[in-house]
C-alpha cells in the first residue's frame, strides 16, 4: 500500500503504539457516522460490514432496497449499527431527498466512501455512436460522488473534521486501452478530490483516493479476459478502504500502478507501444462487439 507513505504523522504514531504488547488502540471509526455508497454488494457491502465492525454507525446507500435491507439486518445481527437509504445517485431529486433525510436523522456524516460506480470496457472503434456510454458512466462515477461531497462538506468543515474516500482504479495511472469512458470518469474524481483536499487543508477535512487493482465482483463479470485473471476479494479491498479511513493517506496505490505511472511520464511512447500490444491480446468481449453494453453498476 504505497499510499501509506503519505499517511499523517498521527496515523503513524497510532500504528506504532498499536504494535506495543498488550496495547489496543481504538479505531478512529468508533462512534463515527460513515456513509458507504454502492453498499448492496461487492466492495461496498464488504466495506460497510468492516466499518460497522470497527464501531461506526454505517449509512448504506444503493438503488436496491431489498439488498440494502438484507445487509443492514446482517450488520445489526452481528452487533453493528446500520441504516439503509435506497437511492439512485444519478437522480437529483432522489439524492436531495436522501441527503435531507440523513441530515435530519444523523446531523450529517463524518466520513463518506464513494464506492457506487459503473465499469465499461469497449474499444473506441465500437463506440462511435455510443456517446451515451460516456454520459452515463460520468453520471455515476463522477457527478454523483461530487454531488455527495458538496452536500456533506459544509457540515464537515463546520465541525472541523471529516474524511472522504473515493474508490477508484489503478487505471487512472495505467491508462489501459478499451476503458476510456470508465477510467476518464474515475480520473476526473481523482483530480477533483486532490484539489478539494487542498482547499480544505486548513479545515480538518481530508480526502483519500484508493486506486484498486482488479476485484472479483459482478462488475467485472462481462469481461471474458478477467475470468482467469488474479483478483482481490471484496473483503481484501474493504480492508484497504478501512485502513484509508483510519489513516487518511492521500492515495492508496498498487506497485504496478505506480510503475506504470512513472513509465507514462519518462517513456510515454514506449508506454503507448506496450499498452497497445497488450490490448491486442485481449479483444473486446462478444457483448461489446454486438453493441450490447457489457457494463455493471454498483449502487
Residues annotated catalytic, as ranges? 182
Residues belonging to the chain: 299
Q: What sign for the dihedral angle of Cα 197, 114, 167, 137?
A: negative
CB burial of 54-74 (b: ≥16 within 10 Å; e: otherwise) equals bbbbbbbbbbeeebbeebbee
- CB neighbours of 155 closer than 8 A, spacing ≥ 6? 103, 107, 108, 109, 162
Angle between helices 131-138 and 180-199 (to 10 degrees): 30
Rounded CA separation 67/88 (Å): 14
* Cell triple for 168: 477508484
Q: What is the 3-state secondary structure (H, E, C) of 21-37?
A: CCCCCCCCCCCCEEEEE
DSSP character at residue 232 = B
Nearest-Å Rg of the Cα atoms of the chain is 19
Q: How many CB atoms neighbour CB 209 within 10 A?
A: 27
* Cell triple for 192: 477533483
Say if residues 34 and 245 touch (Cβ distance below 8 Å).
yes
- CB neighbours of 104 closer than 8 A, spacing ≥ 6? none
Say if residues 262 and 220 touch (Cβ distance below 8 Å).
no
Amino acid at each position: 500500500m504505497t499510499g501509506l507513505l503519505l499517511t499523517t504523522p498521527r496515523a503513524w504514531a497510532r500504528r506504532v503504539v498499536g504494535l506495543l504488547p498488550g496495547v489496543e488502540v481504538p479505531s478512529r471509526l468508533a462512534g463515527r457516522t460513515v456513509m458507504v455508497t454502492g453498499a448492496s454488494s461487492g466492495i461496498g457491502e464488504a466495506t460497510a460490514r468492516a466499518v460497522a465492525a470497527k464501531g461506526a454507525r454505517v449509512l448504506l446507500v444503493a438503488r436496491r432496497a431489498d439488498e440494502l435491507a438484507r445487509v443492514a439486518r446482517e450488520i445489526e445481527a452481528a452487533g453493528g449499527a446500520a441504516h439503509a437509504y435506497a437511492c439512485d445517485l444519478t437522480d437529483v431529486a432522489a439524492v436531495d431527498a436522501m441527503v435531507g433525510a440523513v441530515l435530519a436523522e444523523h446531523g450529517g456524516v463524518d466520513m463518506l466512501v464513494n464506492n457506487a460506480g459503473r465499469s465499461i470496457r469497449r474499444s473506441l472503434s465500437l463506440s462511435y455512436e455510443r456517446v451515451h456510454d460516456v454520459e452515463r458512466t460520468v453520471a455515476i462515477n463522477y457527478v454523483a460522488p461530487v454531488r455527495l461531497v458538496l452536500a456533506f462538506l459544509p457540515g464537515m468543515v463546520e465541525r472541523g473534521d471529516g474524511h472522504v474516500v473515493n474508490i477508484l482504479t489503478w487505471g487512472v495511472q495505467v491508462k489501459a486501452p478499451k476503458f476510456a469512458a470508465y477510467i476518464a470518469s474515475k480520473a476526473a474524481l481523482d483530480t477533483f478530490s486532490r484539489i478539494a483536499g487542498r482547499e480544505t487543508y486548513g479545515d480538518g477535512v481530508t480526502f483519500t483516493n484508493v486506486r484498486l487493482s482488479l476485484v472479483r465482483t459482478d462488475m467485472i463479470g462481462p469481461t471474458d479476459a478477467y475470468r482467469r485473471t488474479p483478483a482481490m476479494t471484496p473483503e481484501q479491498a474493504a480492508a484497504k478502504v478501512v485502513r484509508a479511513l483510519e489513516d487518511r493517506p492521500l492515495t492508496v496505490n498498487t506497485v504496478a500502478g505506480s510503475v506504470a505511472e512513472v513509465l507514462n511520464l519518462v517513456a510515454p511512447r514506449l508506454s503507448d507501444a506496450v499498452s497497445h500490444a497488450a490490448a491486442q491480446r485481449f479483444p473486446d468481449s462478444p457483448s461489446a462487439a454486438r453493441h450490447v453494453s457489457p457494463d455493471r453498476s454498483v449502487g
